[in-house]
Amino acid sequence: MNIPTIDRVEAILVDLPTIRAHQLAMTVMQRQTLVIVRLHCSDDIEGIGEATTIGGLSYGEESPEGIKLAIDTYLAPALAGQSADNIHAAMQRLESIARGNRFAKSALETALLDAQGKRLGVSVATLLGGAVRTHLPVLWTLASGDTARDIDEAESFLQSRRHNTFKLKIGRRAIADDVAHVSRIKQALGDRARVTVDVNQAWNEADAAGAIARLEAAGIDLIEQPIPRTNLAGMARLAARFVVPIMADEAVCSPEDALDIARLGAADVLALKIAKSGGLYGMTRTAAVGDAAGMALYGGTMLEGSVGSVASAHGFATLPRLAWGTELFGPLLLKDDIVVNPPRYADFDMHLPSGPGLGLEIDEHKLAFYRRDRAATSRTPS
Ligand code: MUC
Ligand code: MG
């Protein structure tokens, strides 16, 4: 039997508008840039993957443009001619020629898994050992910047049974304003919804201690990354001081990070993301360390579109325990999509697509329309 090899890899920047402004501690998003990877193999099978970050360089150390440059210049040439059906060997080769660049590597690993799944006629979750759930709870982030609008948004999603947990992005305004905003939303929703907050590292430890005391009293269910990711000792003190669980997000990118957090008791919950983990296998290894240490797990997002969100869902579906559900709502924040069959959301859950690989098909017309390297004049609306 001929062993399929990797022929060619494309990395495509895709700019999609968001349905509304999305305000986080470090940036306000009006659009999202996806880096879509298409990996072509010698047996005519194509695998797709996605590397997406938030707000250019404002969230993480890789920008969409940098990810494309790293893939085009270094990672794709290193993969050319390699066996397409040995994903670990391909990823090890990338490790040996490039440090870091986890988002770029994650997109390539996803594309290899998608191709291999299509080749074998099985889903990515099956390749990873099998899904233990076919649908995943999905929260929604309220981040319009306006309290009344956020309450309206939450009410409409509760009514349509799309979401019953809401994450509030705070850390941008004065603490007193943030606490008042969060408390008003929790008061309006009451026991009908769970409310969590994500501070994205914006507070120092002393401010965090004061704010968390007030958020706990207001009935908030979870506090995500209140202080800088490097201050694990501070996170441990906060986790010991409060009953409300503290979640690590930016602080946990690898199994080694999870081990440090476990040793120090620096979090009660870990936010897992395939991009920051360098791929699905890195995410599941990180999850295993957290799980073994007795920490609860949560399926995080970098606000990816359908490709990255569905890839994440395949991985999260295989985890034995996922106590805090997921936030894989990225496709719903975007005005349009570049796949023909976006994931289905119903009854507070995201439903895993069926079909080999990721179970997704690129919409060529939409991709051609939204890709950045298309001259504006040659774009034709659908
Ligand atoms: C983050 O830090 O968790 C996830 C949801 C959202 O609105 O932003 C992201 C990033
Ligand atoms: Mg976060």
What is the residue with the minimal CA distance to atom 2 of ligand 1? Answer: 200
Tens digit of pLDDT at every position of the chain (382 positions)? 789 999 999 999 999 999 999 999 899 999 999 999 999 999 999 999 999 999 999 999 999 999 999 999 999 999 999 999 999 999 999 999 999 999 999 999 999 999 999 999 999 999 999 999 999 999 999 999 899 999 999 999 999 999 999 999 999 999 999 999 999 999 999 999 999 999 999 999 999 999 999 999 999 999 999 999 999 999 999 999 999 999 999 999 999 999 999 999 999 999 999 999 999 999 999 999 999 999 999 999 999 999 999 999 999 999 999 999 999 999 999 999 999 999 999 999 999 999 999 999 999 999 999 999 996 545 555 4
> Is the shortest distance between the CB of 300 and ligand 1 below 6 Å?
yes
Distance from the alpha carbon of residue 328 to the mean position of ligand 1, in angstroms: 10
364 classed as catalytic: no
Secondary structure, 3-state, 324-371: CCECCCHHHHECCCCECCCCEEECCEEECCCCCECCCCECHHHHHHHE
What confidence score (pLDDT) does residue 77 get? 98
Reading the block at residue 369, the tokens are: 């329309």
Reading the block at residue 231, the tokens are: 């201050």
Query: What angle, 0 to 180 degrees and rounded to 10, lies between the N-to-C axes of helices 102-120 and 306-316?
Result: 70
In order of their start, the domains of the chain are 6-121+364-370 (3.30.390.10), 127-351 (3.20.20.120)
Contact 328, 313 (CB under 8 A): yes
CA atoms of 310 and 331, how far apart (whole Å) = 10
167 classed as catalytic: no
Ligand 1: nearest atom to the Cα of 327: 5
What confidence score (pLDDT) does residue 377 get? 44
> Is the shortest distance between the CB of 313 and ligand 1 below 6 Å?
no
Residue of 169, 186, 273, 276 marked catalytic: 169
| H or E segment to which residue 39 belongs | strand 28-41
What confidence score (pLDDT) does residue 29 get? 95
> Is the shortest distance between the CB of 141 and ligand 1 below 6 Å?
yes
CA atoms of 306 and 329, how far apart (whole Å) = 9
Distance from the alpha carbon of residue 324 to the mean position of ligand 2, in angstroms: 13
> Is the shortest distance between the CB of 201 and ligand 1 below 6 Å?
no
Counting ligand 1 atoms within 8 A of each CB, the residue from 18, 19, 24 with the most, and so the one to mutate, is: 24
What confidence score (pLDDT) does residue 376 get? 52
Distance from the alpha carbon of residue 79 to the mean position of ligand 2, in angstroms: 32
> Is the shortest distance between the CB of 304 and ligand 1 below 6 Å?
no
What confidence score (pLDDT) does residue 380 get? 54
What is the residue with the minimal CA distance to atom 10 of ligand 1? Answer: 302
| H or E segment to which residue 52 belongs | strand 46-52
